[in-house]
Amino acid sequence: MSVRPENPAERLEGKLLAGGWKVGKLQIRRPQATGGHFSQSYRVTADDGREAFLKAVDFYRAFSSGSDFTRIVQQVLEQFNFEKAMLEFCHERRMDRVVRAIGSGTVDTDGTPMGQVPYLIFEAADCDIRCQMDKVVDKDELTWKLRALHHITTGLKQLHGSDVVHQDLKPSNVLVFNADRENQTSKLGDLGRASRSNAHCPFDELPWAGDMNYAPPEVFYSFFDGDWHKRRIASDMYLLGSLVSFLLLRTTASAALFHFLPREFWPGN
């Protein structure tokens, strides 16, 4: 009987990181989760009591995908360094409706080259908008939804103003801060699938970089506009509209479309 080797990215609990952060328990990945395939998540706590969110690169899971070893290492590191650079870019431009990275580095788990785990530390949100929707409905429900949509739209405007597109805007990537207070704030998270018009991005070769469950209709019909701005920014705007649908009707735009569209008009028919 083979024994599953230890995964360094799953053994960070209790580790002390640069900046005085201490790693808490591993957060169990939910079965329905659609992102973070090659990462593990933790809560971290600073000496002064501040809490944050840690995203650790999971090479073990990447190697288990069956891809070429050297290629997968290159791809995972390229994606990690891209997301780190993108977060720094947004911070430099003071995009206050985009989740901020507050630290990064590599933690040594066993003294070997394979035991080195790169990580990013983000400001800690209370939840995402899916969890916020599941709370007890009250008279202020529409108020917080409209506030969230205003913040989401502002975040997209900040990105687009610097020629950056998100490409994976979905409920799990909208994070809520101060969830139980009047100054509740929503921010855009997970820039791992983002793109810039004047720079190379890891997923630019893909016709659609984001989650297919939320993709615009033309993606399913293999139609792609050759103009970067028209195609990418228009897709972000469609994803914004899909969030409006999700918040107000509890269904995404694509799900609603294909629910009502006769099957003879579905892709492939």
Instruction: Enumerate domains of the chain plus CATH numbers.
Output: 8-123 (3.30.200.20), 127-265 (1.10.510.10)
Confidence (pLDDT) at 70: 77
CA–CA distance, 269 with 264 (Å, rounded to integer): 6
User: In 3-state terms, what secondary structure has residue 104?
Assistant: strand
Contact 190, 147 (CB under 8 A): no
CA–CA distance, 257 with 25 (Å, rounded to integer): 41
Confidence (pLDDT) at 200: 87
Q: Summarize pLDDT for 73-131 with one digit per residue, the tens.
A: 888 899 999 999 999 999 999 999 999 999 999 999 998 888 899 999 999 999 999 98
Contact 128, 184 (CB under 8 A): no
Confidence (pLDDT) at 3: 44
Confidence (pLDDT) at 30: 63
Q: What is the dihedral of CA 152, 156, 158, 159, to 10 degrees?
A: 140
- Among 206, 195, 204, 200, residue whose Cα is nearest residue 236: 195
User: In 3-state terms, what secondary structure has residue 261?
Assistant: coil
Confidence (pLDDT) at 136: 57
Alpha carbon 128 to chain centroid distance?
11
CA–CA distance, 39 with 55 (Å, rounded to integer): 6
Confidence (pLDDT) at 245: 95
36, 95, 177, 202 from 98: Cα distances, Å:
18, 6, 12, 20
CA–CA distance, 195 with 172 (Å, rounded to integer): 19
> What values do phi and psi take at 41, rounded to 5?
-120, 145
- Among 98, 166, 176, residue whose Cα is nearest residue 130: 176
**Ranges of residues in the chain whose predicted pLDDT is under 70:** 1-5, 29-37, 65-67, 136-139
